[in-house]
Structure 1
Amino acid sequence: MSNALARRKLVPRHPRELDFAEGIPVNWANGDVFRSRFFDAFSTTLPEGEKFFIVSLRQFKDRLQDPALQQELKDFIRQEGLHGILHNAYNNRLGRQGVDIELITEVLRKFFAAHTKILSPRMQLTLTACAEHLTASMAHAILGRSSHLFDGADERVRALYFWHAAEEIEHKSVAFDLLKNQAKVGYIPRVLMMAYISIVFHALVFPILEHVLRNDGYTARERIGLWGKGLWWMFKPRRGGFYFDLMGHYLSWFKPGFEPWSHGDLEAYDRWIETYAESGDVRPATEAAYAVLGKAA
């Protein structure tokens, strides 16, 4: 099993074996309310976000003359489209719990539509490349130092996020390559956009998370306690803090000579890929990767 930091092949996969219709606990992350609902809130942003990413890259497809790059872009679009489909299915579970998914989706649709109108195609691509780096940072953390987040988690939700993480790793350089080689966007614009999207990510996810907690019936006092413990989990300055675990990968973006494939451990990813190739099922692939991470812990 290779752990070399080198570009991986994009393979769109549709995990039809994942069924979110029933049986998943409300607080699926080993009973942790904030952790469960943070990832649930994050999930609600993904279908509309994936649509924006696809459109922003499609605007540059005619500039690609190399058939290999054209195929890579097609595979990126297929992967992102499937991510939207699966997270829509997962988000329907939240709707059945009383979360106003239609309202959330409409707000997000307007948010991305406004950026389509305001930003030039080059800046739309820059926003997408920054967002893809954020998700790649999370993906490497999930398939690495932050795998403990899924200890005791429902195996279907763990499989959803491990599958998504694996494919985010596979296509983590596609938007950046277009940004650098076709759009010719320089260092300062991409750094400023990263600062912007880092703020906007929380401005979107945190209000959705608060809405979900209110829907769950927690009082104001209870929610303050959940936020206090949850923000400590996210921001605590030592291993086990979610952002601490991914910060090194995230900050690599700010290096003038940044290259996506110069960062990120791939051992668990490679085991996930090997097992999926053998089984065709994201669940055993996830458990195999999880076992590697457990042994490394």
Structure 2
Amino acid sequence: MAVETIAKGPSPTRRAPSPRRRRRYRPADVAWGAAFVAPAVVLFAVMGAYTIGYGFSLSFATWNGFTPTWRWVGLQNYADLLWADPRYAPRVHDAARNTLWVMIAVPLLTVAVSFPLAVLLNSVRRLKGLLRSVYFLPQVTSGIAVYFAWMYVLQPDGAINLLLRSVGLGSLQQPQGFLGNPSTALPTLIVITVWSSVPIAMMLYLAGLQTIDPNLVEAARVDGAGAWHATRHVVWPLLRPITAIVVLLSVRDSLQGFQTFLIMTNGGPGNHTNVLGLETYKLAFLSQLDPTLGLSSALGWLLFLAALILAFVNLRAMRRLT
């Protein structure tokens, strides 16, 4: 049987797709769009870009907030804060040391408390919604009212001293109050900061736990791993990105937050609870010395630089973990 071979001719040349035509907007449409966007742009320019530029320029000058002109001093503000001026440099050094302790202790304690709590809540079968609401309560309560309540509890005749005395631990009570003793004031504020940071961290861990495939944990349990080993070797590695986020949020609050320290101790006793954020606030509004708004702005920019470096380090760590 003969087989015909059909010779195929060259395929027709395809026309190159024409470039997508750019849509031309009428001038009236452009004007209306600009009119709707303009308020947001102006608001950002005034409240954002102008404020940032103004504050950055102020860090190179001295000003008391009332005179119409500044006195330009260049980098002298930064030098005074770091080493040059004996009035400000020691206070900044003490505040930096206290801030470092807070930055180390708060993230570690927040992770150590919130992760087991999230694992426990994720395994609860009854009253799960109620327990989540109770543990999230510190996040939704008014901060100032809670801080005053803590001050009342920590007073010399407060509930904690009374409780220690009633259970036979009178040697641990503080006659001057936990916030009045230099050796207990900073650890006490760290505990309160952790108490206020745990709810958000717990919810982040809880959301992460609910995304983990239960078959992974079940497979580990079938292979003979107990609850602890399954959590340690299966669940914990899968939640490392969330841990990085929790640590970043805790470090940010430790570096920039100062409301707890301002309301409860105002940096006292002495400078034992003074942190960099609180020192920035004091230099701006509470200083009785020379005009210090420039010093406050310079310290604020140093804090911003430190936060930027920590955010970059955390971003690199998250990329390695994911």
TM score, norm. by length of structure 1: 0.30
TM score, norm. by length of structure 2: 0.28
Structure number with larger C-alpha Rg:
2
